[in-house]
């Protein structure tokens, strides 16, 4: 990356700086990192690491590792992991065994007990690209449409969707990633 920036700076100097190549390269303003880097607090400022620890400098900066992935500005660790997988930006192993397989099912379940909020279209596909069925069935959800007493209070308490969302998946404050489907207008009358 740094090397690439140097080349860009040198090219800039050649194109716009004329003869005084070296000084022009020195004066070039520091290149701006991608905007999404600003989402990631630097090590020591995130409340996890001790900022006075001199060994912090040997750790990879989160913005360097995560800032290249598609951003999710609303929270979590500021990465849209669904989009990262879709774009092939990451390629997680299917399991511990080298021959492990994922059983991906493309089936949506429309959940309509959402009061005045848009409905929740629960996508099996985006879940089963990461998770085996047994992560959810039958312990968290009976595999039956409207077969589980889900509401926001229980989700915020860490049940149902809240077993994962806000912990290992995008946070519960991302209302409209779950409430992603307009209600049937006939039902609102
Ligand atoms: C992340 C959790 C999760 C995973 C993983 C998951 N499901 Fe589901 N499944 C749900 C939810 C939520 C519902 C809807 C329950 C409700 O409406 O109360 C559901 C419903 C179902 C239904 C009932 C559909 C209907 O119309 O009644 C079936 C069948 C099902 N799942 C099969 C599977 C299979 C097979 C897998 C694995 C390939 C799987 N599920 C993986 C969460 C999950
Ligand atoms: C066992 C863990 C688990 C449970 C339970 C779970 N999810 Fe997820 N969910 C994930 C993971 C992991 C992802 C993908 C990573 C991410 O987006 O943070 C995901 C992604 C999603 C997405 C995809 C968003 C997109 O951008 O396409 C939606 C929508 C979603 N979950 C809704 C729900 C709803 C609604 C429930 C409850 C009915 C639920 N999830 C229950 C783990 C879970
Ligand atoms: C991880 C997914 C998810 C997120 C994020 C989420 N919800 Fe929900 N919400 C659900 C599900 C699932 C239901 C129940 C739907 C059903 O059972 O038919 C629900 C139900 C509701 C209901 C009706 C039931 C109740 O508890 O009153 C309201 C209102 C609601 N959500 C508001 C919100 C608001 C506001 C936010 C953001 C602060 C939010 N939701 C974020 C999944 C989610």
Q: What are the pLDDT digits (tens) for 134-161?
A: 999 999 999 999 999 999 999 999 999 9
Residue 37, pLDDT > 90, answer no
Residue 104 Cα to ligand 1 middle (Å) = 12
- For residue 61 the two structure tokens come to 């900066």
Question: For ligand 2, atom 43, which residue shows the shortest CA distance?
Answer: 164
CATH 3.90.10.10 in the chain: give the residue spans: 108-188
Question: For ligand 1, atom 37, which residue shows the shortest CA distance?
Answer: 133
Ramachandran angles phi, psi of 12, nearest 5°? -60, -45
Q: Which of 9-13, 44-48, 80-84 has the highest mean pLDDT?
A: 80-84
Is the distance from the beta carbon of residue 40 to the nearest atom of ligand 2 less than 6 Å?
Answer: no
Residue 161 Cα to ligand 2 middle (Å) = 7
Query: What confidence score (pLDDT) does residue 177 get?
Result: 96
Tell me the per-residue pLDDT of 169-186, one tens digit each, with 9 for 90 and over: 999 999 999 999 999 988
Is the distance from the beta carbon of residue 112 to the nearest atom of ligand 3 less than 6 Å?
Answer: yes
User: Which CATH superfamily includes the segment(s) 108-188?
Assistant: Cytochrome C3 (3.90.10.10)
Contacts of 85 (CB under 8 A, 6+ apart): 92, 129, 130
Is the distance from the beta carbon of residue 165 to the nearest atom of ligand 2 less than 6 Å?
Answer: yes
Is residue 172 within 8 A of residue 165, CB to CB? The reply is yes
């Amino acid at each position: 990356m740094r090397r690439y920036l140097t080349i860009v700076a040198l090219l800039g100097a050649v194109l716009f700086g004329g003869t005084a190549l070296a000084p022009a390269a020195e004066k070039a303003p520091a290149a701006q990192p991608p905007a999404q880097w600003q989402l990631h607090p630097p090590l020591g400022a995130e409340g996890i690491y001790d900022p006075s620890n001199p060994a912090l400098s040997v750790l990879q900066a989160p913005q360097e590792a995560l800032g290249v992935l598609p951003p999710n500005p609303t929270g979590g660790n500021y990465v849209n992991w669904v989009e990262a997988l879709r774009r092939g930006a990451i390629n997680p192993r299917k399991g511990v065994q080298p021959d492990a397989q994922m059983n991906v099912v493309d089936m949506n379940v429309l959940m309509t007990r959402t009061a005045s909020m848009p409905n929740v279209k629960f996508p099996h596909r985006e879940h089963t690209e990461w998770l085996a069925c047994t992560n959810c069935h039958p312990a968290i959800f009976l595999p039956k449409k409207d077969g589980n007493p889900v509401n926001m209070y229980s989700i915020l308490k860490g049940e149902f969707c809240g077993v994962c969302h806000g912990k290992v998946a995008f946070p519960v404050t991302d209302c409209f990633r779950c409430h992603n489907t307009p209600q049937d207008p006939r039902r609102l009358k």
